[in-house]
Amino acid sequence: MNVLQVSAEIFPLVKTGGLADVTGALPAALNAAGCDTRVLLPGFEPIMADLHSTTVLAELTTPWSEPFVLRVGHLASLNLLAYVIDLPLLYQRPGTPYEDDQHQPFADNYRRFALLGWVASRLAGGLDANWQPQVVHSHDWHAALTSAYMAFSPAQRVHVASIYTVHNLAYDGLFAPRHFFELGLQSSALSVEGMEFHGQMSFMKAGLFFSDYITTVSPRYALEIQTHEQGYGMDGLLRLRAKELVGIMNGVDEVVWNPTRDPALVHPFDAHKPAGKSRCKAELQQELGLAVQSDAPLFGIVSRLTEQKGLHLVLSVLDEMLARGGQLVLLGAGDASLEAAFRERAAANPQAISVHIGYDENFAHKIFAGTDVTLVPSRFEPCGLTQMYGLKYGSLPLVHHVGGLADTVVDCSLEDLANETANGFVFYHFDSQSMVRAVRRAFALYARKAEWRAVCTRAMCQSLGWDTAAAQYVALYRRLCL
Ligand code: ADP
Ligand code: GLC
């Protein structure tokens, strides 16, 4: 089965969060499950630099009359065939894929990402005489217009199924409707039965409305987004489409996240040879200037610093963590007030708190390897990958019971310890009292060395690879192509 994946990010080339981890791992997992997968990407600088053996597939003109080239080539770092939109004026700029250096969204984002969908629909329509996708699978609002363009394309020779995966409903790609006419879609696309959303145009809604099928990244989040509280105004539409909506849990890319052969770690380890983990912890403490104490529970956070991630709760439980002899390392960037608050706490207590503002893939690996607990107290979390990286690296996750966190972490309650199903710490109310109780459970278990080791072993042995998700996606693709 030929599958075209469409996204704005792909690990290890362009990454702002978990989306890239998913789009970087899914193609290989689908191929292992028997698919022939290619990707379509915007021509960001790292993508162009990684693209080899390229040929020009087509010289095209955007719906707003800008000429560009569509290349097809081989992404060296992913060993993957890719179509890449080569239009430097749109994609080669300082900043993130979405924002300039001043953290302002690019004013022409609606064009930059509409084009991704437009090209995807041309490929669905047979643009490449040598390769016809049977499924076009787009990810998040950046690629969401794919399904709208496909829905308005003339009838195809072959049926091509459109699937849209929501990684985070909170980022919806909302733009002023005056830009609609530039996008080359039929006027009916901008109606309530389409991508119109409270007088704006919503790329997210286009994906949700026009796709043959919608998936999201955990079973629980698939239910949560159908509620008023977590639906961001899309819950009505999602309830209407409930029969074409499923949650498929993300996996962990075990080539990238594997403590037995992680190039970021000096001391490899696994569940059966855990000694390397203690060395990783001691080295991390030393490197960060923390007191080098093997018996001080070390808590870690690797996160975007946004309201979603619930990190104000960490600030409110920090005194208790320290009073009980714990330590904290945080790696993250984002909200200026959160950055300042964590920096301030580290300055006041450098032996116990270490804060690194920035983005550092290598350091992230060292944190999962060297810590005892990974904190993910998110207000909402579609899937969450860091709690799974914590499990793989024996850093037990402490999470809020929501979305994919609830689907992956089982609290160390007495009954789940006895059942041998516990793998972390879970709090059920999104407040400091509830979180602090989970922190106390973590300390209580940490004091019982044998039990702690048993839970770590279980966590590290859990099967979290991409094969399960890939099989579910392939089953879905097959059903849609019948
Ligand atoms: P989200 O996509 O909402 O940010 P996920 O848990 O799905 O959350 O994925 C986050 C990904 O980004 C993980 O791979 C995590 O390790 C990585 N990450 C987040 N912040 C940083 C950072 N400051 N430095 C390095 N990696 C980070
Ligand atoms: C989003 C979500 C996160 C999820 C990731 C990958 O960024 O916030 O929960 O793990 O996408 O699907």
Residue 270, in any domain of the structure? no
Residues 445 and 473 in one domain: no
Is the shortest distance between the CB of 331 and ligand 1 below 6 Å? yes
Model-level pTM greater than 0.85?
yes
Residues 216 and 314 in one domain: no
Question: How high is the pLDDT of residue 158?
Answer: 79
275: buried, middle or exposed (CB in 10 Å: 19+, 13-18, 0-12)?
Answer: exposed
Residues 237 and 322 in one domain: no
Torsions phi, psi of 195, nearest 5? Answer: -100, 10
Is the shortest distance between the CB of 18 and ligand 1 below 6 Å? yes
- The domain that holds 203 is classified in CATH as 3.40.50.2000
Q: How far away, in angstroms, is 353 Cα from ligand 1 center?
A: 20
Distance (Å, whole) CA 393 – CA 276? 11
| Residues of the domain holding 289 | 275-461
Atom number, ligand 1, closest to the C-alpha of residue 21: 14
Residues 359 and 476 in one domain: no
Residues 120 and 218 in one domain: yes
Residue 151, in any domain of the structure? yes
178: buried, middle or exposed (CB in 10 Å: 19+, 13-18, 0-12)?
Answer: exposed
What are the per-10-residue average pLDDT scores of the chain (482 residues)? 98 98 98 98 98 97 98 98 98 97 96 98 97 98 98 82 98 98 97 97 98 98 98 98 98 97 97 96 98 98 98 98 98 97 98 98 98 98 98 98 98 97 98 98 98 98 98 98 86
CA proximity to 297, closest of 341, 318, 327? 327
Element (H, E) at 473: helix 467-481
Contact between residue 391 and residue 424 where contact means Cβ atoms under 8 Å apart? yes
Q: Which of 21, 139, 168, 307 to mutate to test the pocket of ligand 2 (most atoms within 8 A of CB)?
A: 168
Neighbours of 57 (CB within 10 A): 21
Residue 129, in any domain of the structure? yes
Domain count, the chain: 2
Residue 268, in any domain of the structure? no
Question: How high is the pLDDT of residue 154?
Answer: 75
